[in-house]
């Protein structure tokens, strides 16, 4: 394995990052396509080293939340769900001269809609499959103004009813920056 001279964060380190994504397309069965501007952040903890390849580390998401305000839906919030079921995220070294990293984040969310289409109390949904966001061209970690892309659309259904999909997140171009 090639030494990368301390470019990787040490085991146990907690790394907070802000995040924002504008004009995020989300489709609701009862409302159609809406765009949302999410702001919030994520905190990861370095859990273990990756052996093989050029190396890397495994990251556990230990806190994550983003919210957006919408005229019809009120506040729409993506919050971290069951952390025990979510796979560890990965920070892999792709090259060391110059440094290049691939950061794959795995997310499980609850989606809370303050004013759901059709009215009623706030609606709480969960993603039906673990969501993946990726940046495979990082030159530094933690990221600074780096854009992570959603790897495939994500469906949301009422908690405990994964077959009753009512919303779909189509894209999530999330800009992340380390904020110590």
Q: Give the CATH number for residue 166.
A: 2.40.160
Domain containing 138 equals 14-178
Q: Which H helix or E strand runs over 47?
A: strand 32-50
Q: List the alpha helices (DSSP H) in 32-160.
A: none
Answer whether residue 3 is part of any domain.
Answer: no
Token pair for 127: 């993603």
CA–CA gap between residue 46 and residue 117 (Å, rounded)? 40
CA–CA gap between residue 90 and residue 126 (Å, rounded)? 23
Answer whether residue 144 is part of any domain.
Answer: yes
Could you give the count of Cα atoms lying within 13 Å of 46 in the half-sphere of its Cβ?
Answer: 16
Answer whether residue 133 is part of any domain.
Answer: yes
Answer whether residue 94 is part of any domain.
Answer: yes
**What is the b/e burial string over 62-80, where b = at least 16 CB atoms within 10 angstroms of the residue's CB?**
eebbbbbebeebeebbbeb
Answer whether residue 9 is part of any domain.
Answer: no
Could you give the count of Cα atoms lying within 13 Å of 180 in the half-sphere of its Cβ?
Answer: 3
**Tens place of pLDDT per residue across the chain (180 aa):** 333 456 789 999 999 999 999 999 999 988 899 999 999 999 999 999 998 888 899 999 999 999 999 999 999 999 999 768 899 999 999 998 888 999 999 999 999 999 988 888 999 999 999 999 999 999 999 999 999 999 999 999 998 899 999 999 999 999 999 987
CB atoms within 10 A of CB 42: 24
Answer whether residue 8 is part of any domain.
Answer: no
Answer whether residue 5 is part of any domain.
Answer: no
CA–CA gap between residue 66 and residue 150 (Å, rounded)? 15
Predicted TM-score (pTM) of this structure = 0.93
Q: Please count the structural domains in the chain.
A: 1
Q: What is the structure's pLDDT at 5?
A: 52
CA–CA gap between residue 28 and residue 30 (Å, rounded)? 6
Answer whether residue 173 is part of any domain.
Answer: yes
């Amino acid at each position: 394995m090639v030494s990368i001279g301390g470019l990787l964060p040490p085991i146990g380190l907690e790394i907070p990052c802000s995040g924002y994504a504008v004009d995020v397309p989300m489709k609701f069965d009862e409302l159609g396509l809406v765009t949302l501007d999410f702001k919030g952040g994520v905190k990861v903890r370095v859990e273990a080293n990756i052996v093989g390849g050029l190396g890397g580390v495994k990251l556990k998401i230990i806190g994550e939340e983003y919210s957006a305000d919408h005229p019809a839906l009120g506040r729409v919030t993506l919050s971290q769900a069951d952390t025990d079921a979510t796979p560890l995220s990965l920070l892999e070294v792709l090259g060391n001269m110059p440094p290049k990293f691939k950061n794959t984040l795995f997310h499980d969310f609850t989606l809370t809609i303050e004013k759901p289409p059709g009215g009623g109390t706030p609606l709480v949904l969960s993603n039906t499959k673990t969501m993946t966001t990726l940046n495979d061209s990082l030159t530094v970690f933690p990221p600074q103004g780096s854009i992570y892309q959603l790897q495939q659309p994500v469906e949301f259904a009422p908690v405990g009813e994964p077959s009753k999909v009512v919303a779909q997140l189509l894209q999530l171009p999330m800009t992340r920056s380390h904020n110590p």
